[in-house]
Amino acid sequence: MATGRTHRPATRSRGIPEATVARLPLYLRALTALSERSVPTVSSEELATAAGVNSAKLRKDFSYLGSYGTRGVGYDVEYLVYQISRELGLTQDWPVVIVGIGNLGAALANYGGFASRGFRVAALIDADPAMAGKPVAGMPVQHTDELEKIISDNGVSIGVIATPAGAAQQVCERLVAAGVTSILNFAPTVLSVPEGVDVRKVDLSIELQILAFHEQRKAGEDAAAEAALPAVARDDAAIEAAADNVAASRKGPDGDVPAVMPA
Amino acid sequence: MATGRTHRPATRSRGIPEATVARLPLYLRALTALSERSVPTVSSEELATAAGVNSAKLRKDFSYLGSYGTRGVGYDVEYLVYQISRELGLTQDWPVVIVGIGNLGAALANYGGFASRGFRVAALIDADPAMAGKPVAGMPVQHTDELEKIISDNGVSIGVIATPAGAAQQVCERLVAAGVTSILNFAPTVLSVPEGVDVRKVDLSIELQILAFHEQRKAGEDAAAEAALPAVARDDAAIEAAADNVAASRKGPDGDVPAVMPA
DNA sequence: CATTGTGAACCGTTTCACAGCC
DNA sequence: GGCTGTGAAACGGTTCACAATG
């Protein structure tokens, strides 16, 4: 999961818990799907399943927004879509700039999920003069020299950094100086920003490392089980020794082979 | 923040807290940088700053791994790198497959951060027959038909899904059936997986929505401050009204303009 | 009477503050 | 003296369980 936030103290009352905010987009996506299928109402149970959470959590989350359900019936899909959209600020237009148009930046520029929810890619910016003017996702790449002007002309408050780690802090500082107050950072660096600027980080290799950690544990468990050891206390040596056996016993059933679409 | 996990109950003792696990890669990155600069030891304070956390948290985190520091001195950089790498399972080789070689899949394939930490891209897989054989990141794309064989031949236990949402669940099922037990999902869908399979999700549009939420709040605050209203209780109507003024007053100082590298 | 909304208990995580140790 | 390691307190989030209610 992406994470990392800079925050002012939770002064104001009736603040929605951060954990709840992070789930609202999930609910919104599930609700949008229901809306497209013209489903009029959902129960907390159904919606929770669709969003991949449990229903108690969902109900508590919604209780922070206000009470938009009907006891004995459920929630009105359209109404909830509206309320959550409004709460997330998606009823307004958010111009976004992407800085660093390499593989990842280009992928982001082409990503449909942005436009579909109020985000508009206002500009693509790269430091390579050779990139300037080149169309990516139907939009000409602009040179870094224009950064400040672009931000200011478009009233951009959200910036996406997809540069190499070495350039990220500099880019960040220029974005912030130009008026950006929210940054989504894909570069594998800790950005330091002034008070009042939010940073969220998405780090691919960190996610993999977390998976590797659990994977390693599973390997240890499997091996312990196979060796018919009592599954009680953990023993580091045993786990380490067992780790070498990972992936030894894998099966590859090719029963039904459904088609997969290209990304 | 990327997130989302499927988990067996925390049966085993001496489990490292999930929150700590999620920070270990951060420490590792900071330590690696120190190591490259041949710094022999660090204090919890220095390392914490470099990793973007506070020192109490860092010390508590390390206390779960064992006590690898020296009071009055700090931590031995090389030794810590080794201990954390081992704990994360990065001393072994993790073959990974990427399914869905669109813009994002290609970006992932080219991403250097994988190889640098024990992850090896074993194969790139796509359902489009036209992609088959095409080289991406110096490696030929293989057709989905080969999925099971690839997983099995390479002992792959970690899969990355970068397909469109519609294909993700099917791909996921095939990966799992073929022996994959950890999945990093970039498709904007909730994947359902059997017990024992870990899923982590990275969702770009969710991250932006979370930023938009905070951005909206800031706009409300700013407006309230400008209007010289008492900064006490929140008033929804006022915030909504003020939201339209976002980005009205932006300055674009072009003082020093450092160069930015392409991504 | 099915389903929401929510106090209260619970649990994991963070922070504090200081004892322990080099 | 300086810095780690860690109990204990504080906090935020989740889950439970049931009263409220359309």
Protein CA A66 to sugar C1' C5 (Å): 10
User: What are the tens digits of pLDDT across the range A47-100?
Assistant: 999 999 999 999 999 999 998 999 999 999 999 999 999 999 999 999 999 999
Q: What is the pLDDT of residue A105?
A: 96
Quick check: B121 and B105 in contact, CB under 8 A? no
Q: What is the pLDDT of residue B224?
A: 53
Answer yes or no: do B50 and A190 touch at CB < 8 A.
yes
Q: What is the pLDDT of residue A39?
A: 98
User: What are the tens digits of pLDDT across the range A115-131?
Assistant: 878 899 999 999 999 99
CATH number belonging to the domain at B94-202, selected among 3.40.50.970, 3.30.230.10, 3.40.50.12780, 3.40.50.720: 3.40.50.720
User: What are the tens digits of pLDDT across the range A190-227?
Assistant: 999 999 999 999 998 999 999 999 999 987 766 655 54
Point out the residues of chain B with pLDDT beneath 70. Answer: 1-14, 221-263
Protein CA A86 to sugar C1' C4 (Å): 22
Does residue A28 surpass a pLDDT of 60? Answer: yes
The residue extents of the domains of chain B are 18-88, 94-202, 206-243
| CA separation for the pair B26, B24 (Å, rounded) | 5
Quick check: A125 and A143 in contact, CB under 8 A? yes
- Cβ-Cβ contacts under 8 Å, B89 against chain A: 212-213, 215-216, 243
Can you name the CATH fold of B18-88?
Answer: Arc Repressor Mutant, subunit A (1.10.10)
| CA separation for the pair B221, A18 (Å, rounded) | 18
- Cβ-Cβ contacts under 8 Å, B244 against chain A: 92
Q: What is the pLDDT of residue A115?
A: 82
Neighbour tally for A238: CB within 10 Å: 14
Does residue A257 surpass a pLDDT of 60? Answer: no
| CA separation for the pair B203, A31 (Å, rounded) | 17
A77-88 vs B204-226: helix crossing angle, rounded to 10: 60
Give the 3-state DSSP-derived string for A196-245, with helices as H, strands as E and coil as C.
Answer: CCEEEECCHHHHHHHHHHHHHHHHHHHHHHHCCCCCCCCCHHHHHHHHCC
Q: What is the pLDDT of residue B36?
A: 97
Q: Which residues, by CB, come closer than 7 Å to strand C?
A: A 42-45, 55-56, 59-60, 62-63, 67-75; B 10, 17-20, 54, 56-57, 59-60, 70-73
| CA separation for the pair B147, B98 (Å, rounded) | 10
Whole-angstrom distance between the N-terminal and C-terminal Cα of chain A?
A: 21
Protein CA A192 to sugar C1' D2 (Å): 27
The minimum CA-CA distance between A249 and chain B, rounded to whole Å, is 8
Does residue A185 surpass a pLDDT of 80? Answer: yes
| CA separation for the pair B119, A228 (Å, rounded) | 30
| Bridge partner list, B120 | B95
Does residue A140 surpass a pLDDT of 90? Answer: yes
The string of DSSP letters for B60-106 reads: HHHHHH---EETTTEEEHHHHHHHHHHHHTTTS-EEEEEE--SHHHH
Q: How far is CA B190 from the centre of its chain?
A: 17
Q: Which residue is nearest to nucleotide C3 (CA to C1')?
A: A72
The string of DSSP letters for B125-154 reads: EES-TTTTT-EETTEEEEEGGGHHHHHHHH
Distances (CA, A) of B231 to B222, B242, B243, B246, B263: 10, 14, 16, 18, 42
The minimum CA-CA distance between A151 and chain B, rounded to whole Å, is 8
| CA separation for the pair B147, B159 (Å, rounded) | 11
| Bridge partner list, B97 | B123, B159
Count Cα atoms within 13 angstroms, Cβ side, for A20: 18
Quick check: A202 and A186 in contact, CB under 8 A? yes
A123, containing H or E segment: strand A119-126
| CA separation for the pair B183, B172 (Å, rounded) | 8
Band of residue A114 on the pLDDT scale cut at 50, 70, 90 = confident
Q: Which residue is nearest to nucleotide D2 (CA to C1')?
A: B72
Q: What is the pLDDT of residue A255?
A: 26
Neighbour tally for A189: CB within 10 Å: 20
B159, containing H or E segment: strand B158-161
Cβ-based neighbours of A146, under 8 Å, separated by 6 or more: A123, A125
Q: What mean pLDDT is reported for chain A?
A: 83
A139, containing H or E segment: strand A139-143
Answer yes or no: do B25 and A209 touch at CB < 8 A.
yes
